[in-house]
């Protein structure tokens, strides 16, 4: 096995509790909507009070504490409290429909739900559909007869003083359940261990970071735990107004930003106004998909002095899996020469690229499914048989098509499930999307396969145009044809121009929903 970092013993809750006590006066959160700051000490006190109240419910050790909420100053408090007690914690995507959420609850049934007012109706309908009776605590106040977080956390100061977190003797227990994005089906609960999370959250502190996502994203979890262990503040908002993104960078002196490709495409449109100082921003990390070269080029024009780093990770692998280590001279040089690469291997992980049909291990410059093996990978999908998700050698099947070069720099090609198959010819819709994005009027493009009884997948593209632009869809088809000369790579189902594209809770384009809308005749 490659070199692995040592991690603290006794679990996440034990580790962060004692680190938080050392950092009480440091700012942990800046809240965009209310312009508030929250210290680590304030989070520690509030989380301890909730943890004490949870203990009084006599929950089982493996009880699940669930939160369905947008980002606000209290969102992470039950999450931290559950970890203090050694319980399993999870966030639920607010955008998941009640029907799908009811199916999720069949597999992952919480003992208690912490819900904000915006998501209360969704949760109530989900529980009704699933025939479940689960205790609900509402963040903002007493709503629909439910107890408020303030009431729930009323304990004495002496109880707070006497509180001690649970000291685990096994770091390989499930700590966190993070649900898959749901782009290819009902979200599944991915079980991640204390070992996995701790392995990904140590190291140096980043003073101020912003993640443009809802709390159910793994990056939210990892950055939260990292900031509580190592210090550093997070800029949080319910709905990030990307037209104000550079103002936020200036106001909070943000050093690092994590954003999806779609969010980057929106930031490109925002000029940096005179008088704004964004010099604090040194690093912008993107993930979830490969960034089209055209968007990368436009983004560099807007922020020429910001290092744009494409990384590859997946929740099943407990986050980052391939990334350039900017502390190494050779990786800095690789990043300069290959900005479209998602990085090089990291310690603690074995890698192989295989032909998913034949299982043949492939060499450099041959695209295939990436498979990885690590002690930090998921324990499995919660309450489901996950054996088919690993191969006979114990490697996790990522479902992603990648290739690597002679320098072990990896490149994302596409999702295996999103590859197009036309008359037996398999290829990536990313080629079409990258070609379309080079048209001066196109802001973002998403290609999906429309099923055809004889031919397989007929590619159709949904296009969002740049502001104040109009173009005939046939012109866009011709534009692609002039770039991709291969007769098999045609937009045979055409182009549809839309006002916007549906997104997942993690800010990625929701291709499953696009396909459903096409098949239902909504597009």
pLDDT tens-place string over residues 156-199 = 999 999 999 999 999 999 999 999 875 556 789 999 999 999 99
Position 5 confidence tier, pLDDT thresholds 50, 70, 90? low
Q: DSSP secondary-structure letter at 466?
A: P
Q: Which helix (H) or strand (E) holds 7?
A: none
pLDDT band at 16 (very low <50, low <70, confident <90, very high): very high
Domains of the chain with bracketed CATH: 11-196 (3.40.50.12780), 257-417 (3.40.50.12780), 419-519 (3.30.300.30)
Q: Check residues 414 and 188 and name the one with the higher pLDDT.
A: 188
Q: Which of 388, 352, 400 is nearest to 181 (CA)?
A: 400
Give the residue, 138 or 503, on which the prediction is more confident: 138
How much is the pTM? 0.83
Residue found by looking up tokens 């227990």 in the block: 173
Are 433 and 414 within 8 A, CB to CB?
A: no
Which DSSP state fits 506? T
At which residue do the structure tokens 């034990």 appear? 14
| Beta bridge pairs of residue 66 | 90, 113
CA–CA distance, 48 with 442 (Å, rounded to integer):
50
CB 135 within 8 A of CB 58: no
Q: Is the pLDDT of residue 421 over 60?
A: yes
Confidence of residue 236 (pLDDT cuts 50, 70, 90): very high
Assess whether pLDDT exceeds 90 at residue 503: no
Q: Give CA–CA dist 376/8, Å, rounded.
A: 14
* Phi, psi torsion values for 498, nearest 5 degrees: -125, 160
**pLDDT band at residue 1 using 50, 70 and 90 as cut-offs:** very low
| Mean pLDDT score, 404-424 | 85
Q: How far apart, in whole angstroms, are the C-alpha atoms of residue 56 and residue 446?
A: 50
Helix (H) / strand (E) containing 179: strand 174-179
Helix (H) or strand (E) holding 199: helix 194-199
Determine the length of the chain. 523
Contact indicator for 502, 509 with CB cutoff of 8 Å: yes
Structure tokens at 172: 């390989």
Read off the pLDDT of each residue in 493-519 and give the average, rounded to a whole number.
Answer: 84
Helix, strand, coil % over all residues of the chain, rounded to 5 = 30, 25, 45
Q: Residue 304's pLDDT band (boundaries 50, 70, 90)? A: very high
Q: Which CA distances in Å does 435 have to 36, 136, 204, 432?
A: 44, 49, 39, 5
Give the Cα separation of 90 and 111 in Å (integer): 11
| For residues 89-106, average pLDDT | 91
Cβ-contact 361, 351 below 8 angstroms: no
- For residues 13-29, average pLDDT: 97
At 48-96, the pLDDT tens digits run: 999 999 999 999 989 999 999 999 999 999 999 999 999 999 999 888 8
pLDDT for the residue numbered 182: 59
């Amino acid at each position: 096995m490659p070199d692995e970092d040592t991690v603290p013993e006794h679990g996440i809750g034990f580790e962060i509790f004692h680190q938080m006590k050392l950092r009480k006066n440091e700012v942990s959160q800046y809240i965009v909507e209310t312009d508030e700051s929250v210290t680590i000490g304030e989070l520690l006190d509030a989380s301890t009070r909730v943890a004490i109240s949870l203990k009084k419910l006599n929950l089982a050790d493996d009880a699940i504490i669930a939160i369905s909420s947008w980002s606000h100053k209290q969102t992470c408090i039950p999450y931290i409290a559950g970890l203090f007690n050694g319980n399993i914690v999870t966030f639920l995507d607010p955008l998941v429909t009640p029907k799908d959420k009811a199916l999720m609850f069949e597999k992952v049934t919480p003992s208690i739900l912490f819900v904000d007012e915006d998501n209360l109706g969704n949760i109530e309908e989900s529980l009704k559909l699933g025939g479940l009776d689960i205790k609900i605590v509402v963040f903002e106040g007493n709503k629909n007869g439910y107890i408020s977080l303030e009431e729930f956390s009323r304990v004495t100061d002496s109880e707070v003083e006497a509180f001690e977190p649970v000291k685990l003797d096994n770091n390989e227990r499930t700590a966190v359940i993070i649900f898959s994005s749901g782009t290819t089906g009902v979200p599944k609960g991915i079980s991640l261990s204390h070992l996995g999370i701790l392995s990904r959250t140590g190291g140096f502190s980043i003073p101020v970071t912003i993640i443009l996502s809802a709390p159910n994203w793994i990056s939210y979890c990892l950055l939260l735990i990292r900031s509580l262990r190592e210090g550093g503040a997070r800029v949080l908002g319910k709905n990030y107004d990307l037209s104000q993104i550079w103002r936020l960078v200036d106001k909070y002196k943000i050093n690092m930003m994590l954003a999806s490709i779609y969010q980057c495409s929106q930031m490109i449109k925002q000029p940096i106004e005179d008088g704004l100082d964004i010099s604090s921003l040194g690093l912008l990390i993107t993930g979830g998909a490969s960034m089209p070269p055209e968007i990368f080029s436009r983004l560099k024009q807007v922020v020429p002095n910001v290092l744009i780093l494409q990384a590859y990770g997946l929740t099943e692998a407990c986050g980052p899996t391939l990334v350039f280590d900017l502390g190494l001279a050779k990786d800095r040089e690789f990043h300069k020469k290959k900005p479209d690469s998602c990085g090089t291997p990291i310690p603690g992980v074995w890698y192989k690229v295989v032909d998913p049909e034949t299982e043949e291990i492939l060499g450099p410059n041959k695209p295939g499914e990436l498979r990885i093996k690590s002690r930090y990978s998921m324990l499995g999908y919660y309450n489901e048989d996950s054996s088919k998700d690993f191969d006979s050698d114990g490697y996790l099947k990522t479902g992603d098509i990648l290739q690597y070069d002679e320098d072990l720099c990896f490149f994302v090609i596409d999702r295996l499930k999103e590859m197009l198959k036309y008359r037996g010819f398999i290829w990536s819709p990313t080629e079409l999307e990258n070609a379309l994005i080079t048209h001066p009027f196109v802001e973002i493009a998403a290609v999906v396969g429309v099923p055809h009884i004889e031919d397989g997948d007929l590619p159709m593209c949904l296009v969002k145009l740049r502001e104040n632009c109009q173009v005939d869809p046939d012109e866009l088809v011709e534009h692609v044809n002039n770039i991709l000369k291969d007769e098999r790579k045609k937009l045979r189902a055409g182009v549809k121009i839309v006002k916007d594209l549906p997104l997942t809770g993690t800010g990625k384009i929701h291709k499953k929903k696009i396909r459903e809308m096409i098949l239902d005749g909504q597009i």
